[in-house]
Chain A
Amino acid sequence: MKVAKDHRGDILIIAADGELDHHTAAVLKSSIQEELDKGRVRHIILDLSALSFMDSSGLGVLLGRYKELAKWQGKMLAFGLQPLVEKLFLMTGLNKLIPVCASLDDCLRALGV
């Protein structure tokens, strides 16, 4: 699991590359949490285009960060989901908390940028 970070104002853009399971979840968690702890992030956009696998351990990590953002009414959005990951989002209802957009631009627009 490789995690790349980018910032647009108070929006953190996280690109996750690889397989997200219980073993790799800690990597994603700590790299997001590290940014949240700096206190300058309001919203998060997840670029999942290079995420080839995810199971319920991934759900747990994303939900955990979603709850952090909710403390200050921050939003979490995602784009680029591969079919398996999208299926998991829809099946578990995660897409109701973390809406799925068609592109990065759509995510940014949804956040009013």
Chain B
Amino acid sequence: MKMEVTNYFTITFPATSRNEAFARVVVAAFAAQLDPTLDELNEIKTAVSEAVTNAIIHGYPDREGEVVISCSLHRDSLEVIVKDSGVGIDNLEQAREPLFTSRPDLERAGMGFTVMEEFMDSVSIETKPGQGTAVTMTKKISAGEPGGNERN
């Protein structure tokens, strides 16, 4: 069943590392409406940081580009989509494996997707070589919507 959307926003920004902190703070500020715990907020920030960093480093290895973040609230859960229009991922199964990195030369640990999966409830990736990558993550917030609908 598709859950009702209660609030949403979309932002577009240039794919530069300077925007990583900005991106995770914006999503955390939006998620604050669900009254999450500090731990939950930190987990959301970390997962967003991973996806945005991937878009910047891997999505656009040698050109400028844009990252789009779309966020929505569905009663007691948050959905975040981090999208780039970069190179895409050839072998998605391999990319999701812990410790796999295509850029050991940049001292990457290959743990980004593992961190996202650990900190969020679901992570799904849509990618097309040459067209880009969209990472959709959801997280249920334990406190639920303050003063909102009853949960069942």
CB < 8 Å A-B pair total: 62
Shortest C-beta distance, B107 to chain A (Å), equals: 4
B111–A22 CB distance below 8 A: no
Interface residues on B, range: 20 to 34
**Contact among B21, B42, B43, B46 with A23 in the assembled complex (CB-CB below 8 Å):** B21
Q: Which residues of chain A come closer than 8 Å to B20, judged between CB atoms?
A: 21-23
- Which residues of B in the span 8-43 have a Cβ within 8 Å of any Cβ on A? 17-18, 20-21, 24, 39, 42-43
Q: Determine if A63 is an interface residue (Cβ-Cβ < 8 Å).
A: yes
Instruction: Render A57-68 as a binary contact track against B, CB cut-off 8 A, 1 for contact.
Output: 101110110000
How far apart are the CA atoms of A56 and B111 in the complex, in Å?
Answer: 6
Query: Which residue of chain A has its CB nearest to the CB of B49?
Result: A55
Q: Which residues of B pack against A, CB within 8 Å?
A: 17-18, 20-21, 24, 39, 42-43, 45-46, 49-50, 53, 56-57, 106-109, 111-112, 114-115, 118
